[in-house]
Amino acid sequence: MFRVEMLPAGHGDSLLIAYGDPAAPRYVLIDGGPYYTYRNQRFLKRHALSHRLEDLARQGARLELLVTTHVDADHIEGVVKLLGNWPPGLEIGDLWFNAWPHLVEAPDELLGAEHGEMLSGLIGLKRLNWNAALGGQRVAAPEVGDLAPIPLADGLQLTLLSPRPAELAALAEAWEEELRLAGLDPNSPEKALERLKESARLRPGDLLGAPAPDPQALDEEPCEGDDSPANGSSIAFLAEFEGKRCLFAGDAHPDVLEASLRRLARQWGEPRVRLDAFKVAHHGSGHNLSRELLERVDCPRYLISSNGSYFGHPDPAAMARIILHGGAEPQLCFNYRSEENEVWDNDRLRRDYGYRTQYPAGIIPGLAVEL
Ligand SMILES: [Zn+2]
């Protein structure tokens, strides 16, 4: 089996991969969503990440790998909560996360961004394996040479596409600056851990109304790219199991993904990288999904993780690009039904443009996709 589940993570990402023997699957968790993904979901307590992981522990399953793609709150907060409230008995093999020591070649004494420091502090406290598959070094795609897969237990293979060392170096600057603004003292990881209790994470933003979608017109909007260093530092990879492939893009930059996919295609002598699913970057933001990127893959399913809050993801232009450039009959798979995404649940549009949609079946958010 090879199943990807987009957990209900609000405007963020939390993806649970199950693979291997269906009777005793192995698991990989990518991101923990914003803090409330982990617990305290008033109506959805049973579906909180904590409960899912407690269930896994009870079944004797283990997390082969926990990937924190980058330091943005909508990916990292749930992981900070997880490490601070670890489900009893849950074993973990490795944890991938690029923190301050991994951003620069020769780290100086400065600390990193607040959430990153909190997570670093917790990993240290708990003495977890940290980027063990990379020998403790940064999780990054090499600048030159082949993109080699990293093997996990039972045959799952992960090929890193993002970040490259350059994206990590770019985050280093922002990390220092953010630290200064946060008033954290250098050389004081304790202080970052203190902040855990009061972690303010509410970011401003307004809900965008849902414009009437016109894929052709939307497709004319250029993809201007993403200039956020945090997003650029996202760990993104291709996961392969028994011939099935899923691209997990974090919030990575489209040009970085495109360049890595170009390298892979060349390496494999294929015109496009064949995929079974693509968890699109940055919750379907128009800044992170270019036509050029879509033209590098041959993929029937696009996974979009967001409830639409704060940033109004997914962007109509990104959905239009998938519909027009995402293959013969692309399927848009949403882990919520939201004001932003339900405009695509439209028979006329589906007929005219030849695409399919998948939403959660009932009122409970979250979507599992069998590859
Ligand atoms: Zn995000």
DSSP labels for 272-315? SEE-SEEE-GGGG-TTS--HHHHTTEE-SEEEE----TTT-PSP
Whether residue 57 contacts residue 88, with contact meaning beta carbons closer than 8 Å, is answered with: yes
pLDDT of residue 42: 57
Name the one residue in this structure whose structure tokens are 């005793």.
Answer: 24
CA of 144 to the centre of ligand 1 (A): 28
Q: What residues does the ion ligand 1 have nearby, CB within 5 Å?
A: 74, 251
CA of 33 to the centre of ligand 1 (A): 8
CA of 260 to the centre of ligand 1 (A): 20
Cα 326 from Cα 304, distance rounded (Å): 14
CA of 275 to the centre of ligand 1 (A): 22
In order, the DSSP letters of 169-218 are HHHHHHHHHHHHHHTPPTT-HHHHHHHGGG--------PPP-PPP-HHHH
Q: Is the residue at 246 inside a domain?
A: yes
| Total domains in the fold of the chain | 1
CA of 225 to the centre of ligand 1 (A): 15
CA of 295 to the centre of ligand 1 (A): 23
CA of 34 to the centre of ligand 1 (A): 9
Q: Is the residue at 198 inside a domain?
A: no
Residue 45 DSSP class: G
CA of 56 to the centre of ligand 1 (A): 25
pLDDT of residue 288: 97
Beta partners for residue 4, in sequence order = 17, 369
CA of 57 to the centre of ligand 1 (A): 27
Beta partners for residue 94, in sequence order = 65
- C-alpha distances (whole Å) from 95 to each of 47, 91, 130, 220, 283 are 23, 11, 5, 40, 23
CA of 71 to the centre of ligand 1 (A): 9
Which distant-in-sequence residues (6+ apart) come within 8 Å of 200 by Cβ? Answer: none
Q: Does the reported pTM lie above 0.85?
A: no
pLDDT of residue 108: 44
Q: Is the residue at 341 inside a domain?
A: yes
Q: Is the residue at 250 inside a domain?
A: yes
CA of 117 to the centre of ligand 1 (A): 18
Q: Is the residue at 204 inside a domain?
A: no
CA of 248 to the centre of ligand 1 (A): 12
Q: Is the residue at 205 inside a domain?
A: no
Whether residue 155 contacts residue 239, with contact meaning beta carbons closer than 8 Å, is answered with: no
Residue 346: how many CB atoms within 10 A of its CB?
Answer: 14
SS3 assignment, position 82: helix
Q: What share of the chain is helix, strand, coil (3-state, %, to 5)?
A: 35, 20, 45
Domain of 58, CATH number, reads 3.60.15.10
CA of 58 to the centre of ligand 1 (A): 30
Cα 34 from Cα 45, distance rounded (Å): 15
CA of 361 to the centre of ligand 1 (A): 24
Q: Is the residue at 289 inside a domain?
A: yes
What's phi and psi for 55, nearest 5 deg?
A: -60, -45
Closest residue by Cα to residue 295 from 258, 331, 329: 258
CA of 268 to the centre of ligand 1 (A): 30
Cα 6 from Cα 74, distance rounded (Å): 14
Q: Is the residue at 173 inside a domain?
A: yes
CA of 351 to the centre of ligand 1 (A): 31
Which distant-in-sequence residues (6+ apart) come within 8 Å of 156 by Cβ? Answer: 17, 19, 20, 26, 28, 64, 239, 240, 241
CA of 309 to the centre of ligand 1 (A): 12
Cα 342 from Cα 363, distance rounded (Å): 14
CA of 330 to the centre of ligand 1 (A): 23
CA of 60 to the centre of ligand 1 (A): 31
CA of 168 to the centre of ligand 1 (A): 17
Cα 51 from Cα 39, distance rounded (Å): 8
CA of 28 to the centre of ligand 1 (A): 18
Cα 306 from Cα 11, distance rounded (Å): 4
pLDDT of residue 29: 98
List the pLDDT tens digit at each of the 371 positions of the chain.
999 999 999 999 999 999 999 999 999 999 999 988 887 555 566 668 888 999 999 999 999 999 999 999 899 998 988 888 888 889 999 999 998 778 765 444 443 477 788 888 788 777 889 999 998 899 999 989 999 999 999 999 999 999 999 999 888 888 878 877 888 754 566 677 777 655 543 222 222 233 458 999 899 989 999 999 999 999 999 999 999 999 999 999 999 999 999 999 999 999 999 999 999 999 999 999 999 999 999 999 999 999 998 889 999 999 999 999 999 999 999 999 998 999 999 988 999 999 999 999 887 889 999 99
pLDDT of residue 46: 63
CA of 235 to the centre of ligand 1 (A): 12
Closest residue by Cα to residue 311 from 202, 224, 227: 202
CA of 7 to the centre of ligand 1 (A): 14
CA of 72 to the centre of ligand 1 (A): 6
Residues of the domain holding 215: 2-193+210-370
CA of 116 to the centre of ligand 1 (A): 15
